[in-house]
């Protein structure tokens, strides 16, 4: 039981990273981005290719993050930027991200010849750390530490720095931010880049955990990310971390007490259920009606 | 010096400005008056880069700024306090002021903030309240203060008296007068002609997107006030 | 009736018509401003209900398919009432998850055949029957379009609040549209199952949803005939281009979605677009007017809540 809780938290740590990335783009750009699923995949593939070319793991991870960040910024600067300038509805924006998702996904599928690749985990922490009667795999411990660190850094950045204040201003109203001297496009690009990096990080942890990688890994993780932000309240940084941990626990307990096959279905059920009961998330703050 | 040359602004088929020319000299206060829908706000938006002019030029000290992004125009020294105050509601008053100083050198920010609080004393007690919960008058003060935090050479203010009680409007006017003393030019859009005439040296009247009259407040003041009283 | 077509062509044509039904299922909800991503889930409901009835209870084909569509409609009604009060992105997300719940549920129960699916479904739907059904659905759409229901749905899409102010029961019409959407998707699922004889949960994939969504978005939500014609046109074009591998399909549909959303976000049947296309030649060409750059209204409360 205690061990299962530890496992759930460990699983949830990666989920938190996923949620943080989505919450950031949602918060700043108000886009629910389906292409995020492929940022996860492209980032992990970036790392995989780097490792295969004998790049030390730490740098390979950074390369993967950069790949995903650049892809995310590229998509934003081309498709999204264009649509924003035309004042397209959020409806159309979501659909466009679905189109981008499909393009990126089919390219990844083609490049990987629809195969499931082996993800080399030699350079990642292995073994596990014993805490009392429970043990936690080092990899998961690392991902937990990183997601908590990311949360703290994001929180500090958004609340305490000049750039973070500018980001919150852009999130509230880009035209007003511009009038105050903020280059809103640069802020958008920054938020998107960081979000891409977080997607990659989550994808890499996921791949290292299973030591496999496939072009379709992102699909399940995207749903997880959606579930996390729905649980934690969309746009909430703290909510993303709590939501991620909560979802990890729920999945582990479901596997334990109900059945392993339902741990995926439970994710979707949670999304529907929470949206019906508490549309602002379990920990979310009520969002004022938008006109 | 700000010069508008045959400025035209369109929203789709609507022609909000149809060739407006005017000059705001350095150290001057120019009031722009006109009825609802005349195109006053559109003019300010074009100046600050919020909307892109359809035709015509906007020269700021000789540079054409008519196609620049708003954040670049602010860096050149033109601040725009928009209609409706554009509060960043979830940020506190202090954070709003800090955002106003986004382009100001760090060493000068604290000093500027102190000066703004001197100019608008009611803000002092509300520094850590969120801007969204301020009263209308306080929001207007914050909007102007925030615009000034970037130390502009010219500040374009859209209807500062809108929705304010006469006493509060007077306070805001007094603050504006103090701003002018520091050498900042003011381009003041107002519907309250009496208020604007007390501050401005020059007056421009626009209607239907065109300049209908321009002159000093002495020349035009009487006619304008008469027209408004009718 | 279509015997002169070779069997392969008949199969392709049937596939295109099934797609047309799916696109119509999206059209119904788009028509009143609801972005529903649940269609594929309802398709699976219809397909599984009808296939199980036919293979386990030995129902004849036509009643089985009809029952499948009705079950999908009932599920849509029940869950529609729960999720339809959501707005915008939340609605898209809720319907997306809802659709997936059905598919995953089906994949994880044993009585549905689990991940392996169902085989041995009688293959006895003719192309003529399918053509008849699509035409019949079209007639119903046309009648609804002309009726007060059609007007109400369009009013809701234009402005929900104004529609509500004019005495239109917005919630009821949205539920009605969602139910109809479930029915059509269930119908499509049933026909598809009895065309191919085999179904499995993984065919109700996100990729299928994306393809249908692309067709629906290209068609727009103004004319039902636009949906059918778009499904047919793209389906036929795809046969000629020969885009069968995953990469080409992804680039085609993904690219179409993106391009359409950028150029004609309301689809090619947008009345304003049609008007512009027909009148352009009659009027002297003027330079493009300058749209306001970023004059968006402030987006309400800050979504970033960090404490
Ligand atoms: N974003 C917009 N889209 C379309 N038309 C607009 C837009 N903004 C302004 N207009 C139109 O342009 C014209 C001028 O508007 P503007 O806001 O500049 O007037 P104003 O003089 O500031 O009026 P007020 O005193 O009421 O603020 C009006 O006819 C208005 O309807
Ligand atoms: Mg105005």
Q: With helix as H, strand as E and coil as C, how does B112-144 read?
A: HHHHHHHHCHHHHHHCCCEHHHCCHHHHHHHHH
- For chain A, say whether B98 makes contact (Cβ under 8 Å): yes
In this predicted structure, which of A41-55, A227-241, B140-154, C195-209 has the lowest mean pLDDT? A227-241
Who wins on pLDDT, C195 or A263? C195
Using the mean position of ligand 1's atoms as its centre, give its distance from the Cα of residue B64 in Å.
Answer: 24
User: Taking Cα atoms as reference points, which of B139, B109, B115 lies closest to residue B126?
Assistant: B139
Q: How far apart, in Å, are the Cα atoms of C236 and each of A47, A94, B66, C288?
A: 41, 27, 49, 36
Q: How confident is the model at residue A155 (pLDDT cuts 50, 70, 90)?
A: confident
Q: How far apart are the C-alpha atoms of B129 and B119, rounded to whole Å?
A: 19
Pocket of ligand 1 (CB under 6 A): B 11, 14, 16, 34, 36-42, 83, 191; C 292, 295
In a domain, C113, yes or no: yes
Mapped onto helix, strand or coil, the DSSP state of residue C247 is: helix
Q: Are A108 and A71 in contact (CB under 8 A)?
A: no
Q: Which helix (H) or strand (E) holds B7?
A: strand B2-11
Which residue has a Cα nearest atom 22 of ligand 1? Answer: B41
Length of chain A: 291
Q: Which atom of ligand 1 is nearest to the CA of B191?
A: 25
User: Taking Cα atoms as reference points, which of B186, B204, B197, B200 lies closest to residue B221?
Assistant: B197
Question: What pLDDT is recorded for position B164?
Answer: 80
In a domain, C221, yes or no: no
User: CA nearest C247 in A: which residue?
Assistant: A106
Q: How far apart are the C-alpha atoms of C237 and C234, rounded to whole Å?
A: 5
Q: Which atom of ligand 1 is nearest to the CA of C295?
A: 1
Radius of gyration of chain A (CA): 19
List, in order, residues 6 or more apart from B177 with CB less than 8 Å away.
B199
Mapped onto helix, strand or coil, the DSSP state of residue B15 is: strand
**pLDDT 10s per residue in chain B (230 long)?**
999 999 999 998 899 999 999 999 999 999 999 989 999 999 999 999 999 999 999 999 999 999 999 999 999 999 999 998 889 998 999 999 999 999 999 999 999 999 999 988 899 999 999 999 998 889 999 999 999 999 999 999 999 888 788 888 888 888 888 888 888 999 999 988 888 888 888 999 999 999 988 888 877 777 776 666 44
Separation of CA B129 from chain center: 25
Neighbours of B62 (CB within 10 A): 7
Length of chain C: 307
Question: What pLDDT is recorded for position C244?
Answer: 65
For residue A39, pLDDT over 90 is answered with yes
Interface chains of chain B (3 or more CB pairs under 8 Å): A, C
Q: How far apart are the C-alpha atoms of C88 and C100, rounded to whole Å?
A: 19
Beta bridge partners, A129, equal A136
Q: How far apart are the C-alpha atoms of A19 and C137, rounded to whole Å?
A: 42
Q: How far apart are the C-alpha atoms of A250 and C97, rounded to whole Å?
A: 17
Domain residues of chain A, as ranges? 2-121+138-277
Contact A173 B95 (CB under 8 A): no
Q: What are phi and psi of A224, to 5 degrees?
A: -60, -45
Q: Which atom of ligand 1 is nearest to the CA of B83?
A: 27
Q: How far apart, in Å, are the Cα atoms of A65 and each of A92, A192, A217?
A: 28, 12, 16
Contact C258 A79 (CB under 8 A): yes
CA dihedral of residues C224, C226, C232, C234 (deg, nearest 10): -130
For residue A291, pLDDT over 50 is answered with no
Question: What pLDDT is recorded for position A286?
Answer: 47
Of the spans A45-49, A243-247, A273-277, C229-233, which averages the highest pLDDT?
A45-49
Contact B10 C289 (CB under 8 A): yes
Q: How far apart are the C-alpha atoms of B206 and B33, rounded to whole Å?
A: 6
Question: What pLDDT is recorded for position C297?
Answer: 34
Using the mean position of ligand 2's atoms as its centre, give its distance from the Cα of residue B37 in Å.
Answer: 7
Transcribe B137-164 into DSSP letters: HHHHHHHHHHHHTT--SEEEEE-TTTT-
In a domain, C31, yes or no: yes
Q: Which helix (H) or strand (E) holds A81?
A: helix A81-85
Contact B54 C292 (CB under 8 A): no
Q: Cα angle vertex C177, ends C189, C186, to 5°?
A: 10
Contact C255 A99 (CB under 8 A): yes
Q: How far apart, in Å, are the Cα atoms of B121 and each of B113, B115, B116, B157, B172?
A: 11, 10, 8, 20, 11
For residue A176, pLDDT over 60 is answered with yes
Q: Which atom of ligand 1 is nearest to the CA of B41?
A: 22
Looking at residue C268, the DSSP 8-state letter turns out to be: T
- For chain C, say whether B49 makes contact (Cβ under 8 Å): yes
CA C70, C75, C76, C82 torsion-angle sign:
positive
Pocket test for ligand 1, best of B32, B39, B162, B192 (most atoms within 8 A of CB): B39
Mapped onto helix, strand or coil, the DSSP state of residue A121 is: coil
Question: What pLDDT is recorded for position C287?
Answer: 39
For residue A244, pLDDT over 60 is answered with yes
Q: How many domains does chain C have?
A: 1
Query: Cβ-count burial of B140 within 10 angstroms (0-12 exposed, 13-18 middle, 19+ buried)?
Result: buried
For residue C282, pLDDT over 80 is answered with no
Question: What pLDDT is recorded for position C284?
Answer: 44
Q: How far apart are the C-alpha atoms of B128 and C151, rounded to whole Å?
A: 51
Query: Cβ-count burial of B96 within 10 angstroms (0-12 exposed, 13-18 middle, 19+ buried)?
Result: buried
For the domain made up of A2-121+138-277, the CATH class stated in words is mainly alpha
Q: Are A225 and A18 in contact (CB under 8 A)?
A: yes
Q: What are phi and psi of B122, to 5 degrees?
A: -60, -20
For residue C252, pLDDT over 90 is answered with no
Q: How far apart are the C-alpha atoms of A284 and B16, rounded to whole Å?
A: 42
Contact A181 B89 (CB under 8 A): no
Q: Are B12 and B183 in contact (CB under 8 A)?
A: no
In chain C, what residues touch A264 (CB-CB under 8 Å)?
A: 104
Q: What are phi and psi of B69, to 5 degrees?
A: -70, 150
List, in order, residues 6 or more apart from B111 with CB less than 8 Å away.
none
Average of per-residue pLDDT values in chain B: 90
In chain C, what residues touch A291 (CB-CB under 8 Å)?
A: 297, 300
Q: Are A127 and C68 in contact (CB under 8 A)?
A: no
> Range of C156's domain?
7-205
Which residue has a Cα nearest atom 5 of ligand 1? Answer: B11
**Domains of chain B from N-terminus onward:** 2-229 (3.40.50.300)
Q: How far apart, in Å, are the Cα atoms of A216 and each of A102, A154, A155, C252?
A: 11, 29, 31, 19
Q: How far apart, in Å, are the Cα atoms of C94 and each of A284, B145, C89?
A: 17, 44, 8
For residue C293, pLDDT over 60 is answered with no
Question: What pLDDT is recorded for position C243?
Answer: 60
CA dihedral of residues B148, B152, B157, B160 (deg, nearest 10): 20
For residue A200, pLDDT over 70 is answered with yes
Contact B51 C301 (CB under 8 A): no
Q: How far apart are the C-alpha atoms of A240 and A224, rounded to whole Å?
A: 11
Transcribe A219-262 into DSSP letters: HHHHHHHHHHHHHH-TTBHHHHHHHHHHHHHHHHHHHHHT-TTH
Pairing label, strands B55-60, B2-11: antiparallel
Interface chains of chain C (3 or more CB pairs under 8 Å): A, B
Q: Are C70 and C131 in contact (CB under 8 A)?
A: no
Mapped onto helix, strand or coil, the DSSP state of residue C176 is: helix
Pocket test for ligand 1, best of B4, B31, B42 (most atoms within 8 A of CB): B42
Question: What pLDDT is recorded for position B188?
Answer: 94
State pTM to two decimals. Answer: 0.86
For residue C304, pLDDT over 50 is answered with no
What is the distance in angstroms between the Cα of A22 and the nearest Cα belonging to chain B? 21
Question: What pLDDT is recorded for position A72?
Answer: 96
Average of per-residue pLDDT values in chain C: 84
Q: Say which of B11, B89, B91 has its CB closest to residue C292.
A: B11
C15-36 per-position pLDDT tens digit: 999 999 999 999 999 888 888 9
Q: Are A116 and A214 in contact (CB under 8 A)?
A: yes
In a domain, C235, yes or no: no
CA atoms within 13 A on the CB side of C226: 20
Average pLDDT, integer, range A153-160: 89
Q: What are phi and psi of B32, to 5 degrees?
A: -115, 120
CA dihedral of residues B65, B66, B72, B75 (deg, nearest 10): 50
- Exposed e or buried b for every residue in A146-163, given b needs 16+ CB within 10 A? bbeebbeebbebbeeeee
Indicate which ligand has the atom closest to the C-alpha of B45.
1
Question: What pLDDT is recorded for position A284?
Answer: 55
């Amino acid at each position: 039981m205690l061990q299962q809780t530890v496992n759930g938290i460990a699983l949830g740590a990666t989920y938190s990273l996923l949620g943080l990335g989505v919450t950031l783009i949602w918060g700043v750009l108000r886009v629910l981005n389906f292409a995020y699923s492929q940022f996860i995949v492209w980032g992990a593939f970036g790392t995989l290719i780097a490792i295969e070319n004998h790049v030390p793991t730490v740098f390979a991870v950074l390369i993967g993050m950069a790949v995903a960040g650049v892809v995310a910024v590229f998509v934003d600067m081309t498709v999204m930027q264009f649509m924003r300038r035309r004042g397209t509805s959020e409806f159309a924006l979501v659909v466009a991200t679905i189109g981008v998702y499909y393009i990126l996904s089919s390219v990844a599928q083609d490049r990987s010849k629809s195969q499931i690749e082996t993800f080399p985990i030699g350079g990642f922490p292995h073994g596990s750390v014993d805490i009392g009667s429970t043990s936690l795999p080092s990899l998961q411990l690392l991902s937990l530490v990183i997601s908590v660190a990311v949360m703290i850094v994001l929180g500090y950045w958004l609340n305490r720095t000049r750039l973070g204040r500018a980001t919150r201003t852009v999130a509230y109203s880009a035209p007003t931010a511009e009038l105050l001297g903020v280059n809103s496009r640069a802020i958008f690009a920054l938020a998107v880049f960081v979000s891409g990096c977080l997607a990659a990080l989550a994808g890499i942890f996921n791949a290292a955990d299973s030591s496999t990688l496939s072009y379709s890994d992102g699909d399940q993780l995207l749903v997880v990310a959606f579930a996390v932000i729905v649980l934690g309240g969309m746009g909430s940084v703290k909510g993303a971390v709590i939501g991620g941990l909560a979802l990890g626990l729920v999945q582990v307990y479901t596997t334990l007490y109900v059945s392993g096959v339902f741990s995926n279905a439970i994710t979707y059920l949670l999304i529907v259920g929470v949206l019906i009961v508490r549309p602002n998330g379990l920990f979310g703050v009520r969002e004022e009606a938008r006109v | 010096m700000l010069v508008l040359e045959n400025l035209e602004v369109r929203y789709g088929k609507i022609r909000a400005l149809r060739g407006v020319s005017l000059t705001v000299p350095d150290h001057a206060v120019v009031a722009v008056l006109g009825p609802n829908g005349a195109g006053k706000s559109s003019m300010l938006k074009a100046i600050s880069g919020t909307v892109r002019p359809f035709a015509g030029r906007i020269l700021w000290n000789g540079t054409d700024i008519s196609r620049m992004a708003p954040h670049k125009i602010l860096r050149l020294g033109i601040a725009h306090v928009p209609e409706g105050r554009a509060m960043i509601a979830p940020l506190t008053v202090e954070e709003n002021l800090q955002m106003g100083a986004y382009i100001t050198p760090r060493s000068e920010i604290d000093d500027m903030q102190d000066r703004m609080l001197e100019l608008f004393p009611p803000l002092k007690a509300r520094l850590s309240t969120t801007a969204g919960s301020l009263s209308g008058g306080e929001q207007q003060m914050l909007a102007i203060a925030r615009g000034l935090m970037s130390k502009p050479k010219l500040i374009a203010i859209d209807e500062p008296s809108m929705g304010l009680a006469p006493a509060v409007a007077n306070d805001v006017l007094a603050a504006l007068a103090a701003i002018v003393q520091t050498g900042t030019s003011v381009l003041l859009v107002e519907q309250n002609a009496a208020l604007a005439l007390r501050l401005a040296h020059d007056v421009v009247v626009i209607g239907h997107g065109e300049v209908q009259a321009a002159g000093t407040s002495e020349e035009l003041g009487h006619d304008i006030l008469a027209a408004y009283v009718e | 009736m279509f015997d002169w077509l070779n069997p392969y062509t008949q199969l392709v044509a049937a596939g295109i018509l099934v797609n047309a039904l799916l696109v119509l299922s999206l059209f119904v909800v788009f028509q009143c401003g609801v972005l529903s991503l649940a269609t594929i889930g309802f398709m699976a409901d219809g397909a599984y209900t009808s296939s199980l009835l036919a293979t386990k209870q030995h129902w004849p084909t036509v009643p089985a398919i009809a029952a499948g569509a009705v079950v999908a409609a009932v599920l849509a009604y029940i869950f529609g009432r729960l999720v339809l009060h959501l707005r915008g992105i939340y609605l898209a997300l809720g319907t997306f998850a809802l659709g997936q719940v059905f598919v995953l549920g089906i994949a994880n129960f044993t009585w549905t055949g689990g991940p392996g699916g169902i085989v041995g479904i009688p293959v006895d739907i003719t192309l003529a029957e399918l053509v008849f059904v699509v035409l019949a659905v079209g007639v119903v759409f046309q009648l609804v379009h002309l009726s007060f229901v059609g007007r109400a749905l369009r009013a809701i899409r234009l402005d929900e609040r104004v529609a509500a102010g004019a005495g239109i029961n917005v919630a009821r019409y949205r539920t009605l549209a969602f139910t109809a959407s479930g029915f059509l998707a269930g119908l499509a699922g049933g026909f598809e199952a009895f065309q191919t004889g085999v179904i499995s949960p993984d065919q109700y994939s996100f990729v299928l949803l994306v393809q249908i969504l692309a067709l629906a978005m290209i068609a727009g939500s103004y004319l039902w005939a636009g949906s059918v014609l778009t499904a047919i046109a793209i389906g036929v074009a795809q046969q000629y281009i020969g885009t069968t591998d995953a990469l080409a399909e992804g680039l085609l549909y993904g690219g179409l979605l993106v391009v359409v959303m950028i150029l004609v976000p309301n689809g090619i049947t947008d009345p304003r677009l049609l008007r512009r296309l027909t009148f352009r030649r009659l009027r002297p060409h003027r330079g493009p007017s300058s749209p306001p750059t970023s004059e968006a209204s402030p987006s309400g409360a800050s979504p970033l809540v960090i404490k």
